[in-house]
């Protein structure tokens, strides 16, 4: 970290970087990150504070979707700068007392990291002083089975995350990897996908003359169909 009287420059991991390694105490015991998650996708996410309403709604939603993420070979790991006993007390309160949008008795079984020193939060750029210097923002890191950061999303303190979007991001990344395609705006499984752009004049010409199973809007923008069953059948555990 570089500092002068005017500015503070904090280095943060970027998309394509190896996820910074750390050991941490969590509500599920110690974890060694990302080593212990090798072979799985992981969503590492931070929240500002235990016993707060937006965070509670988020944890209940994420915990309710844990099986859905697990079917896509994805594990969840949460973090805040609160201590372990606060985490435990908050998760017990959620399970025992909170009923929200039809969710009740929600048990959070994924690890929640205690990060009182803010060491992990600072390493991952989760502390954004303009928003808060004492709480992590709502950061989301989607990390692939090789430990590479594939997506980073930040939300401010006041805005609860869209968990359908986080699942869509995961499935979109996995689809891109499995089928060597890209996904257009607002893509959902079953929608057309984008085939890699023609890398030579010959391929561009051939594409426009013989589109095979593609639909080409122009030589650089061709799509093809992959039906929903093929996408989900390939990606999801039975
Ligand atoms: C919340 O989770 O409700 C929250 C936490 C920190 C600041 C603002 C809202």
Of 80, 67, 77, 192, the C-alpha closest to 142 is 77
Tell whether the model's pLDDT for residue 5 goes beyond 70: no
Ligand 1 mean position to 80 CA, how many Å? 12
Cα angle at 63 between 61 and 64, to 5 degrees?
65
In this structure, the residues whose C-beta lies within 6 A of any atom of ligand 1 are: 48-49, 52-55, 135, 157-158
Residue pLDDT, tens place only, 67-86 = 999 999 999 999 999 999 99
Give the span between the Cα atoms of 38 and 138, in whole angstroms: 24
Ligand 1 mean position to 139 CA, how many Å? 13
What percentage of the chain exceeds 70 in pLDDT?
96
Cβ neighbors of 86 (< 8 A, separation 6 or more) are: 50, 51
| Structure token pair of residue 157 | 């303190």
End-to-end CA distance of the chain: 46
Mean pLDDT, the chain, as a whole number?
95
In this prediction, residue 198 carries a pLDDT of 83
Residue pLDDT, tens place only, 19-42 = 999 999 999 999 999 999 999 999
| Structure token pair of residue 167 | 């699942």
Residue pLDDT, tens place only, 159-180 = 999 999 999 999 999 999 999 9
| Structure token pair of residue 27 | 């509500």
């Amino acid at each position: 970290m570089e500092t002068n009287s005017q500015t503070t420059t904090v280095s943060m991991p970027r998309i394509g970087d190896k996820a910074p390694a750390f050991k941490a105490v969590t509500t599920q015991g110690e974890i060694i990150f990302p080593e212990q998650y090798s072979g799985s996708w992981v969503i590492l996410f931070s929240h500002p504070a235990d016993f707060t309403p937006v965070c509670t709604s988020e944890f209940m939603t994420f915990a309710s979707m844990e099986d859905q993420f697990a079917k896509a070979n994805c594990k969840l790991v949460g973090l805040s700068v609160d201590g372990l006993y606060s985490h435990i007390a908050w998760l017990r309160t959620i399970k025992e007392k909170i009923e929200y949008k039809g969710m009740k008795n929600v048990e959070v079984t994924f690890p929640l990291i205690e990060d009182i020193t803010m060491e992990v939060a600072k390493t991952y750029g989760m502390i954004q002083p303009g928003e808060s210097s004492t709480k992590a923002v709502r950061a989301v890191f989607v990390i692939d089975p090789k430990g590479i950061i594939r997506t980073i999303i930040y939300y401010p303190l006041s805005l609860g995350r869209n968990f359908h979007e986080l699942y869509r991001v995961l499935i979109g990344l996995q689809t891109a990897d499995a089928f060597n395609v890209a996904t257009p705006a607002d893509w959902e499984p079953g929608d057309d996908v984008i085939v890699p752009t023609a890398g030579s004049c010959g391929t561009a010409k051939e594409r426009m003359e013989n589109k095979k199973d593609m639909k080409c809007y122009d030589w650089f923008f061709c799509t093809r169909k992959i039906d929903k069953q093929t996408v989900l059948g390939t990606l999801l555990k039975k």
